[in-house]
Chain A
Amino acid sequence: MLAAASLGYWELDPHSRDLIVSDIYRANWGRAPREPFSYNDVVAAIHPDDREMHERAVAEAVANRGDLDIEYRNIWPDGSVHWVRVRGRAIYDENGKPTRMAGTSFEITKRKESDVALHEETQTLEILNKIGQTLNQDLTLDHIVQTVTDAATRLSGAQFGAFFHNVIDDKGESYLLWTLSGVPREAFDKFPMPRNTAVFDPTFQGQGLIRSDDITKDPRYGKNHPYYSKPKGHPPVTSYLAVPVISRAGVVLGGLFFGHKDPGVFTARAERIVTGIAAQAAVAMDNARLLKSAQNELAERRRAERQQELLLGELNHRVKNTLAIVLSIATNTLRHSRSAEIFRNSFETRILALAEAHDLLSEGNWAGTSLGMLIERVLKPYRGPGEPRYTLAGDPDVRVRPKEAVALVMALNELATNALKYGALSRPEGHVAIDWRAEHGKLSIGWRESGGPPVRQPTRQGFGTRLIKGLAQDLSAQVDLQYERGGLICTIDMQRNDET
């Protein structure tokens, strides 16, 4: 009955275009009862976008002897837009000429609006669902932010949207990245990052959403140096919508910003949609970050493990090498010792010298050591009470490499032991002068004994002598041993291609 009450009636003469309508028909067009209402008035009131469709449908129904059944918009005298459903049929004379056309009208604005709303809502849900799926599968930050920015810009009705998000680089420092939708990147390239201005700050602080029909009228707008409004050349923004993106842990990951040149664009619905997208974005970004940090941690651990393997290999090599050296010293010392006691004394001093060399090197992180310090260390046990029995002269800055250091410590230890047993240090008045000089790519070390008993060339080469002469090969050095009357003189001349 209600429907019947709103059903209008119309009758048209296609030739004269005379129109007869009921009051309900008039009401469907926003007219008062009995108000004059011509066919021209009807056509003029049809929404311009629908006029052609109406014209064609009427012509077709008449030509095909078919039913007219169309829905279109009309504009009432007060300017409001309404939907109407119009049905009708032509009546023909015996010659087949249409004489009359008659039908009904029915206002369907409410139904149409809910149809459109339903359609929009369905589309929105589909898009939201699609975003959800994309974000669930995608753990790449770049893709996530672009998907989110594009979708939110489209669904909110914005002209353009931006997503500013914090990124933490490999060094653990945070910086701001941005993604755009709706405008080319160049449109914003010349502007600085949004700072903590009165407009942007609440979003970056995660203090909640801002939706404004006209941001230029907002008291927070244009408060900040140097622009006091939007920067020159910035795309015009009147309608403004900004939503913070906050992680599960409450950390602000960034902010979504939307703009439109017209006022009043962003509806409460747009706000709800964008808030929903922001929540999905936060979860996806959290996941992406978790994955990234897990990957970083894994890579870091692998790197550390590789490093450790290398170190262990190197350590193993050094330990085994040192054991081989100890074995060599033991074998040779044993061969030249007449008694267990002699063996023990010689072996001990040699092993201690080797340990001393390692100490020196490990103090310098195995990057070499000062020659003066090295000689001092070797001779310290032979210092004796009172004035030292030896003098050192040389540049304290001369340094030797690890391999040279070990060889020199061993050789100097042999020289000192021999001096104590048979040479200058075996007598209270004896003295040893050690000097060194580095020049022209050569390092010369001199060992001069004086005041000792007369020396002569030994008939048999002991291990000490063999050791000193042999180390020369290691050092690419010339070793000269002279058994002078006053004492032994040993000179070591090392080739040094690179300064170390």
Chain B
Amino acid sequence: MPDPARVLIVEDEYLIRLLLEDMLSELGYTIGAIASNLEDGKSKAETAEIDIAILDVNIDGKQVFPIAEILRGRGKPFIFVTGYGAQGLPENYRSNPTLQKPMQMHDLKTMLVRTLGAR
């Protein structure tokens, strides 16, 4: 039995963060790190021991893409969470796995398995 994958959560709304934490725990993942703002998210994306990240696209009115860049550089996969739909994403991120808010546990599970499996 391999160690459960460690997840970085970047989400500015506490209650949504809570929901993600609960869902991930229930699905058997470990919370590797949590960030509620862009700066904290960037430093955790650089240093945290994680296998995958879940990124809210809109962090307090700012876009999360600088964090996504860092993760790309580290070769860590990530899943976007957004209320805007895929057309709210820039061209170079359109094909990235994206969850629509409000997210469902089943979708989260499928997407995590597929994204981690594709590594």
Contacts and interface: CB of A to CB of B under 8 A. Distances in A.
Interface in B94-119: 100-103
Nearest to A325: B15
A470 B16 CA distance: 11
- The size class of the interface chain B forms with chain A is 20 to 34
Contacts of A326: 102
Contacts of A323: 101-102
B85 interface: yes
Interface in A141-200: none
> Looking at chain B's contact residues, is the secondary structure mostly helix, strand, loop, or mixed?
mixed
B27 interface: no
Nearest to B103: A324
Given A316-B85, A319-B83, A474 B14 contact: yes
Interface string A303-333: 0000000000100111111011111110110
Contacts of A325: 13, 15-16
Contact of B14 (A313, A316, A319, A473): A473
Contacts of A473: 14, 17, 34, 36
Interface residues of A, number: 26
A327 B81 CA distance: 15
Interface string B1-34: 0000000000011111111001000000000001
A407 interface: yes
A352 to B, nearest CB: 15
A328 B18 contact: yes
Nearest to B58: A317
A458 to B, nearest CB: 18
Contact of A321 (B22, B34, B36, B83): B83
Interface string A327-351: 1110110010000000000000000
Given A323-B101, A324-B16, A325-B16, 16 more contacts: A313-B84, A316-B83, A316-B85, A320-B82, A320-B101, A320-B102, A324-B15, A328-B22, A410-B15, A466-B18, A467-B15, A467-B18, A471-B14, A474-B13, A474-B14, A474-B36
Interface of A: 313, 316-321, 323-329, 331-332, 335, 403, 407, 410, 466-467, 470-471, 473-474
